[in-house]
Structures are given as structure tokens and as C-alpha cells.
Copies of this chain bind each other. A is one copy, B any other.
Amino acid sequence: MDKKFKKGIVQVYTGDGKGKTTAAIGLALRAAGQGFKVYMIQFLKSPKLSSGEFKMKDAFGNNLKLERLNTPWWSLKSFKNDKHVEKMKEFLKEEMIKLKDIISSGKYNLIILDEINICLFYGLIDLNDVIELIKNKPADLEIVLTGRYAPEELKKIADLVTEMKLIKHPFSTGLKARRGIEY
């Protein structure tokens, strides 16, 4: 890794409004465009969903690694099933250990944990594991955590917290998520 941020901070994007994941994707593009190395994990996107950002990942070349966890989370049915929830917790516990190695590897300048806040809110990931990751991160690594319901403890240790606030939303009037805009 040639380039380094002088100082990497911890950013949280939360709230019920639009643009949390989208802003993270924009950050990834910007950093990769400037020659930094980016690792983005999408915790709650189905690997089957063919999102626009996923289709573009080749465009970033070696500067971006975009990964989706193969969790059954996105199926709400699974989440209502206690056995599935336990499986998810175990799966995510292992992923957090992998993440710890990735962070300490020093390979990346920017690591984005997309929708991890939701996992924290529902207790699928232990908040202490995330706090430990953040506290032990290299000083030049930027970490971005997205998703609504960011826990207060996370906001406290984050350097920059932005709340995306829904002011007006057309989905309440029946417009569905659209390919190319919402995914």
C-alpha cells in the first residue's frame, strides 16, 4: 500500500433517510479514484441481488474489494426463526474475527461496514466486538459504518456522525424500489 491517510477517522451514517449505503459507495469511488485501497463489506445485501455498485466493481480495478456476506438475514422469514438467528450470530462472529485480521493487515486505507448498524441493533453482532475493532484500528485507517439504528455507544466513539433524516418519501405513496436507483 503506497498511499496513506495522515489520519483515519471513524464515520457513522445512520437515520431513516436515504443515502447511507449510497454515500458509502460514493466514498469508496472517491477514495479508489485517488488511489487508496478500499474494502467494503455489505452485511445485509443478498448475494443474488444484482446491485449497480456490484456490477461496477471491476471498474475500480485493484483499488476496491467489494464483498457481500452470504447471510440469510435479508429474508425476514429467517430472522423470525430462532435457529436461523443463532446460525447468523455464529456466522457473523466468525466474520468479525476475519475482519479483525483484515483491519490489522494494513492492506486497506478505507474499510466500509455497510448496514452493520442493523446487525448491532438486532444483536446479531456484539457491540463490544465492533468497539474493540475500532479502538485497535491503525491510526491511518478510515472506517465507515452504515445503517439505521446506530447504537449510542457507537456514536460516542465515532469521530463523525451523520443522520440521514427522512423528510418526504414517495414509497409511502406506492413507488417501489427501482433498479439503478435504489439498488
Within 8 A of B (CB), among A7-25: 7, 9, 11, 13, 15, 17-25
- Which residue of B59, B142, B179 contacts A181 across the interface (Cβ within 8 Å)? B142
A165 in the interface, Cβ–Cβ < 8 Å?
A: yes
A109 in the interface, Cβ–Cβ < 8 Å?
A: yes
Q: Enumerate chain B residues within 8 angstroms of A179, measured Cβ to Cβ.
A: 34
Question: Interface with B: A87-95, A120-128, A155-163, which one?
Answer: A155-163
Q: Flag if B51 contacts A9 (CB, 8 Å).
A: no
A29 in the interface, Cβ–Cβ < 8 Å?
A: yes
Shortest Cβ distance from residue A138 to the other chain B in the assembled complex, whole angstroms: 15
How many positions in chain A have a CB within 8 Å of any CB in the partner chain? 58
- Which residue of B18, B21, B161 contacts A168 across the interface (Cβ within 8 Å)? B161
A32 in the interface, Cβ–Cβ < 8 Å?
A: yes
Q: Enumerate chain B residues within 8 angstroms of A164, measured Cβ to Cβ.
A: 17, 19, 162-165
Shortest Cβ distance from residue A89 to the other chain B in the assembled complex, whole angstroms: 29
The 6 tightest CB contacts between A and B, nearest first, are A33-B52, A30-B52, A59-B59, A19-B23, A22-B26, A25-B26
- 15 residue pairs A–B, Cβ–Cβ below 8 Å: A5-B180, A7-B178, A13-B18, A17-B162, A19-B23, A19-B162, A22-B22, A26-B53, A31-B180, A35-B180, A56-B59, A110-B181, A159-B175, A160-B168, A161-B167
